[in-house]
């Protein structure tokens, strides 16, 4: 679903992303972890087509993002860490508005909106203004909007921020079900190690713009030489070791 080769992003003299190579397969949840300033959000914004790489290539569902950007973006939904909502619309109105931007036929838009509101536990608040929603409800509404066009790739920056335990469990379940049933790929970044460990099929750890480890939990344990360890311990081992390298 995603193929990244030699990806570099410079901001003046600062190298934010330094030669990344990785793939994300259809039907998997792929975690992208790293300390603050490691290059996670920059990478995600390049994959979403919001900023242009300095060099390298990104291919999404067979479409080169630089030469066939419209086709690549048409199969991608991106949820940033601080999404925007229209607070003077109801939940249903917001989804119908978003469906119009995606140019969904009206009947399909109505059916998809109703189904997603149900999926994310918002059906009973469909006619309520978004401004009255809790933070977690707003976050679930954003997920519903991102899934309206039935994307092939969902890119999510910090998906669990503001969700209560029940909402977080719901979103994790939806991730797994969509990947299994619709062959969606989810590319997510999170600081919540327990979420990544529980949800992700594979994980890449980025540090100072470079990937320092990737693979399944067993692969990461071998890389860190930490058999039986949790992801938090592995993450700290891999990133702290490289902090000490001049």
pLDDT in tens, 71-80: 999 999 999 8
Q: What is the pLDDT of residue 242?
A: 53
% residues pLDDT > 90 (the chain): 75
Q: Are 133 and 167 in contact (CB under 8 A)?
A: no
Whose tokens are 């933070």? That residue is: 135
Q: Which of 181, 187, 176, 174 is nearest to 147 (CA)?
A: 174
**At 195, phi and psi to the nearest 5?**
-65, -50
pLDDT in tens, 228-241: 899 999 999 988 85
Name the DSSP class of 108. Answer: H
C-alpha 136: how far from its chain's center? 17
Q: Which domains does the chain have, with CATH numbers?
A: 1-75+157-246 (3.40.50.300), 83-150 (no CATH)
Residue 169: pLDDT band with limits 50, 70, 90: confident
pTM of the model: 0.91
């Amino acid at each position: 679903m995603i193929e990244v080769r030699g990806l570099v992003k410079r901001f003046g003299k600062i190298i934010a992303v330094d030669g990344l190579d990785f793939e994300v397969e259809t039907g998997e949840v792929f975690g992208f972890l790293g300390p603050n300033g490691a290059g996670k959000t920059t990478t995600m914004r390049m994959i979403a087509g919001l900023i242009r790489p300095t060099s390298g290539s990104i291919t999404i569902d067979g479409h080169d993002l630089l030469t066939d950007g419209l086709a690549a973006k048409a199969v991608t939904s991106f949820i940033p860490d601080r999404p925007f909502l229209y607070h003077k619309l109801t939940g249903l109105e917001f989804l119908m508005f978003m469906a119009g931007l995606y140019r969904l036929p009206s009947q399909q838009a109505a059916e998809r909106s109703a189904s997603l509101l149900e999926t994310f536990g918002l059906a009973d608040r469909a006619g309520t203004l978004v401004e009255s929603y809790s933070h977690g409800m707003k976050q679930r509404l954003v997920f519903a909007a991102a899934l309206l066009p039935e994307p092939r790739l969902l890119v999510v920056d910090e998906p669990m921020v503001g969700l209560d335990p029940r909402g977080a469990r719901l979103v994790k379940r939806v991730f797994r079900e969509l990947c299994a049933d619709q062959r969606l790929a989810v590319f997510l970044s999170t600081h919540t190690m327990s979420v990544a460990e529980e949800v992700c099929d594979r994980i890449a750890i980025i540090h100072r713009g470079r990937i320092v480890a990737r693979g399944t939990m067993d692969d990461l344990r071998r890389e860190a030489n930490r058999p039986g360890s949790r992801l938090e311990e592995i993450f700290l081992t891999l990133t702290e070791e490289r902090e000490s390298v001049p």
